[in-house]
Amino acid sequence: MKNIPSKLFLLVLAALFIADTIKPVRAFSDFEKRALAQFPRFDLSSLIDNDYTKDLESYINDQFFGRDFWVSLKSTIEDGLGKTENNGILIGSDKYLFEKKFTLSRQAILNIGYLNEFKELYADFPLTIMLAPNSDAVYPEKLPIGTPQFDQISQIKQWEDELGLLNVSDKLLTHKESSLYYLSDHHWTLDGAYLAYQAVMESWGLIPMDLDSFDVKEVEGFLGTYYNKARPKDYPPEILKYIDPQILSYLTGDKFNDSLIDKEALGSSDKYGAFLHGNHGYAQIIVRETLIPNRILVIKDSYANSLIPFLTSHFDVIDVVDLRHFNGSLKTLISGSDYKQILFLQNFNQFSLDVNVAKLRY
């Protein structure tokens, strides 16, 4: 009788192990609204650098049996205890959710070096670099009291002086009374994206279109990545705004689209994924046919997905590269195209962790 609890425990462990082994590997979590880690490819160098072990740990954490249930249970318990942090998300005032980030990562320093190399390599091209601050930098007063959050604004200012970044922080801070970021998500809203577009146009000596000149549409029921990590109780869904400018074609891989907005995604749980039909390694937007097209290259993360539609008012061809999924050669792409502008745009948190920025060198 004394051994029954031990046997039951071992039986449960065995059942979980079997279930974990036979269940299919998921690529995306609808529950958390993010891509899940896949089984890492083994090579000796990654093992020596400890990268393989870290990737394997991420794979196990992301793919374990019943992950959605356990994440939801943890969130419910944390919320019930009144904690101001859950799963790396800070629970701020007025329904604001933020990603916890207390220090500057080593990867961010490496990535600044890669940007410097890229800037020197393409010195003959008009290159604009923008690192967008995240919502906690623009609305620090909404953070939990006493949170030692990293000062993105000061760091961006330092890099502006050292690297010549286009600093959009002041413009965002000046207009912070508007809803510039989603409460429940890590992205800026259409209003935030518009201000960044405005700053880019002004830096190029171009006149930005008025926001009122675009047909702004809305969809209800948006809950973003921060919400799906923290799962606070009684959280109200938000409104997602978008524009869908007229284009000739939008090529992603081998798929042609006649719109920059994925209408099906607007009705799904991943509504932000409607912008540009999600993230792709390389995509091309043909806005209009001209004899000598005005071309731009945008190297970006998902922050740019809601900004790029504004660029269709100024460019005939927009090439879009997301380094996280890009396996080609930027040197080949840039040398074979007559780009009038090159825009690098990532949000601060993504830039600070993105090992793929190293691809700028190739």
Backbone torsions φ then ψ of 3, nearest 5 degrees: -85, -5
What pLDDT score was predicted for residue 81? 54
Tell me: pLDDT of 341 over 70.
yes
Structure tokens at 85: 């942090």
3-state helix, strand, coil split of the chain in percent (to 5) is 45, 20, 40
Residue 67 pLDDT exceeds 80: no
For 188-199, write each residue's pLDDT tens digit: 999 999 999 999
What does pTM read for this prediction?
A: 0.83
pLDDT at residue 227 above 80? Answer: yes
Count other Cβ atoms within 10 Å, centred on residue 310: 22
pLDDT score of 27: 72
Higher pLDDT: 18 or 217? It is 217
Please name the residues in contact with 218: beta carbons below 8 A apart, sequence gap of 6 or more: 239, 240, 241, 242
- What is the Cα–Cα distance from 361 to 330, expressed in whole angstroms? 8
Backbone angles phi, psi at 252, to 5 degrees: -125, 110
Q: What is the mean pLDDT of residues 330-334?
A: 97
pLDDT at 44: 67
User: CA nearest 132: which of 184, 222, 217, 194?
Assistant: 194
| pLDDT, average across residues 252-263 | 95
pLDDT averaged over the chain? 90
**Residue-wise pLDDT tens digits, 121-133:** 999 999 999 999 9
The answer, yes or no, to whether residue 80 has pLDDT greater than 70, is no
Is residue 105 packed enough to be buried (19+ CB in 10 Å), middle (13-18) or exposed (0-12)? middle
DSSP annotation of 209 reads P
Q: Is the pLDDT of residue 72 over 90?
A: no
- Is it the case that residue 12 has pLDDT exceeding 80? no
Q: For the segment 49-58, what is each residue's pLDDT rounded down to a tens digit?
A: 666 676 667 6
DSSP 238-304: EEEEE-----SEEEETTEEES-SB-HHHHTSS-GGGGBTTS--SEEEEE----SS--EEEEEE-GGG
* Average pLDDT value for residue range 196-225: 98
Q: Confidence band (pLDDT; 50, 70, 90) for 18?
A: low
Percent of the chain with pLDDT over 70: 83
Least Cα distance to 38 among 30, 26, 29 occurs for 26
User: At 37, is the pLDDT very low, low, confident or very high (cuts 50, 70, 90)?
Assistant: confident
State yes or no: pLDDT of 263 exceeds 80. Answer: yes
Using the predicted structure, report yes or no on whether residue 21 has a pLDDT greater than 70.
no
Instruction: Summarize the confidence of residues 115-144 as an average pLDDT.
Output: 97
Question: Tens digits of per-residue pLDDT, 303-324?
Answer: 999 999 999 999 999 999 999 9
Of 251, 228, 236, 185, which Cα lies nearest the Cα of 86?
228
Q: Which band of pLDDT confidence, cut at 50, 70 and 90, is reported for residue 25? A: confident
Hey, what are 286's tokens? 């043909």
The first and second tokens of residue 143, run together, are 């953070």
pLDDT of residue 64: 66
pLDDT digits (tens, 9 = 90+) for 144-169: 999 999 999 999 999 999 999 999 99
**Integer Cα distance of 229 and 86 in angstroms:** 7
Give mean pLDDT, residues 90-116.
Answer: 97
What pLDDT was estimated at residue 253? 86
**Where do we find the tokens 């880690």?**
37
pLDDT interval class at 185 (50, 70, 90): very high
